[in-house]
């Protein structure tokens, strides 16, 4: 079995700021991390490998420094790591990104047929959740989104059963391999990297593929040229003038607390009481 796990290197969004004047994202000095959602899919892939054997390849499209993110995956147990990196990919939107990744997966498949592609649910920077479905569409693989558990894989029958989160419950789905799985967060706990695996990862020969090596012939489909989406404006949310308020009240009587809160709300929003009464009357 060959599992490809797509991982993206992202800036630690907890430390990102939007420039107050020109509204651009200030990335300077912000540490780069593996997209946290992707670590759940990496762990799930490693668990599958532990159960039924096979190879796990971590795949990333990004700048040369994204190699660090792939080394991290190797330290957790990925067998192979491929960084698709080329200036021609710069400015890619989700369409161009999923095209480049799908083409690279097709290329990987020529060496060792790919059975499952894992992606995270979404990234913490782009946040679109479009890349996984985009890859599935281009590769013509079955798509399983919001997966919380891989229930069973029958290699002989080339089938997979998963649980996926759906509105109001859990769906159990069965489909054919090959497939793309977008994995939900908090579905497993990432194993620890050990000192020997970290040393192994530090010296691991991460494969770097440029555009041609990734099998991409048509430059019009990648980077800025292949990206029909245009970001018109980036801005931080306006800080709210109203803040949460701590009321010091005598809590010995619940009734008094509720009355006091209602009194406060009506004082703050003088028209609210009349509006509610009118609504009730109509």
Interface residue with ligand FAD among 46, 61, 83, 88 (CB under 6 A) is: 61
Q: Looking at 27, 50, 91, 202, which residue binds ligand FAD (CB under 6 A)? A: 91
Q: Toward ligand FAD, which CB reaches closer, 13 or 197? A: 13
Binding of residue 97 to ligand FAD (CB under 6 A): yes
Please provide the DSSP assignment of 174-205 as one string: EEESSEEEEEPTTSS-PPPPPHHHHHHHHT--
DSSP 87-135: GGGTT--HHHHHHHHHHHHHHHHHHS---EEEEES--SSS----HHHHH
Q: Which of 13, 55, 94, 175 is the binder for ligand FAD (CB under 6 A)?
A: 94
Q: Residue-wise over 177-212: b if at least 16 C-beta within 10 A, else e?
A: bbbbbbbbeebbeeeebeeebeeebeebebebbebe
**In the complex with ligand FAD, which residue's Cβ is closer, 131 or 153?**
131
| Cβ–Cβ < 8 Å for 119, 185 | no
How many CB atoms neighbour CB 36 within 10 A? 15
- Bridge partner residues of 266 (DSSP): none
Q: Which stretch binds ligand FAD (CB under 6 A): 49-57, 105-113, 116-124, 237-245?
A: 116-124
Asked whether the beta carbons of 46 and 77 are under 8 A apart, the reply is yes
Residue labelled with tokens 């710069």 = 90
Q: Is residue 25 a contact point for ligand FAD (CB under 6 A)?
A: no
Q: Which of 229, 253, 258, 267 binds ligand FAD (CB under 6 A)?
A: 229
Which segments of the chain does DSSP mark as H helices, in order?
36-52, 67-76, 94-111, 131-139, 195-202, 254-268, 272-281
CA distances, 126 to each of 9, 21, 122, 129, 264 (Å): 11, 22, 8, 8, 41
Range 230-269, binding ligand FAD (CB under 6 A): 231
Question: By CB under 6 A, is residue 214 in contact with ligand FAD?
Answer: no
Q: Which stretch binds ligand FAD (CB under 6 A): 35-43, 167-175, 193-201, 263-271?
A: 35-43
CB 173 → ligand FAD: shortest distance, Å?
19
Q: Does 21 bind ligand FAD (CB under 6 A)?
A: no
Q: Residue 38 interacts with ligand FAD (CB under 6 A)?
A: yes
Binding mask 119-158 for ligand FAD (x = CB under 6 A): xx-xx-xxxxxxxx--------------------------
Tell the smallest beta-carbon distance from residue 113 to ligand FAD (Å): 20
Q: Residues 78, 101, 214, 222: which binds ligand FAD (CB under 6 A)? A: 101
**Cβ-based nearer residue to ligand FAD, 128 or 142:** 128
* C-alpha dihedral, 111 to 58 to 38 to 18, nearest 10°: -110
- In the complex, the residues that contact ligand FAD under the rule CB under 6 A are 6-8, 35, 37-38, 59-62, 91-94, 97, 101, 119-120, 122-123, 125-132, 229, 231
């Amino acid at each position: 079995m060959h599992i490809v796990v797509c991982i993206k290197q992202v800036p630690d969004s907890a430390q990102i700021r939007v420039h107050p004047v020109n509204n651009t994202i200030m990335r300077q000095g912000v540490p780069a991390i593996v997209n946290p959602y992707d670590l759940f899919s990496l762990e799930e892939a490693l668990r599958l490998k532990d159960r039924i054997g096979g190879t796990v390849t971590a795949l990333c499209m990004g700048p040369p420094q994204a190699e660090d993110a792939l080394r991290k995956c190797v330290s957790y147990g990925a067998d192979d790591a491929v960084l698709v990196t080329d200036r021609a990919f710069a400015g890619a939107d989700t369409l161009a990104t999923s095209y480049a990744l799908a083409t690279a997966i097709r290329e990987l498949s020529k060496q060792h047929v790919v059975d499952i592609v894992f992606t995270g649910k979404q990234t913490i920077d782009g946040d679109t959740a479009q890349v996984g479905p985009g890859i599935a569409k281009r590769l013509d693989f079955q798509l399983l989104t919001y997966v919380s558990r891989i229930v069973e894989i029958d290699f002989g029958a080339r089938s997979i059963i998963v649980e996926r989160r759906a509105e109001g419950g859990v769906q159990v789905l069965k489909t054919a391999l090959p497939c793309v799985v977008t994995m939900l967060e908090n579905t497993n706990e990432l194993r620890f990297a050990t000192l020997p695996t970290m040393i192994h990862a530090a010296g691991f020969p991460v494969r770097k593929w440029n555009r041609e090596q990734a099998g991409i012939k048509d430059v019009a489909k990648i980077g800025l040229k292949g990206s029909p989406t245009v970001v018109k404006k980036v801005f931080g949310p306006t800080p709210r003038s109203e803040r949460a308020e701590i009321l010091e009240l005598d809590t010995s009587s619940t009734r008094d607390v509720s009355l006091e809160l209602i009194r406060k709300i009506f004082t703050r929003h003088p028209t609210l009481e009349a509006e509610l009464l009118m609504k009730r009357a109509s």
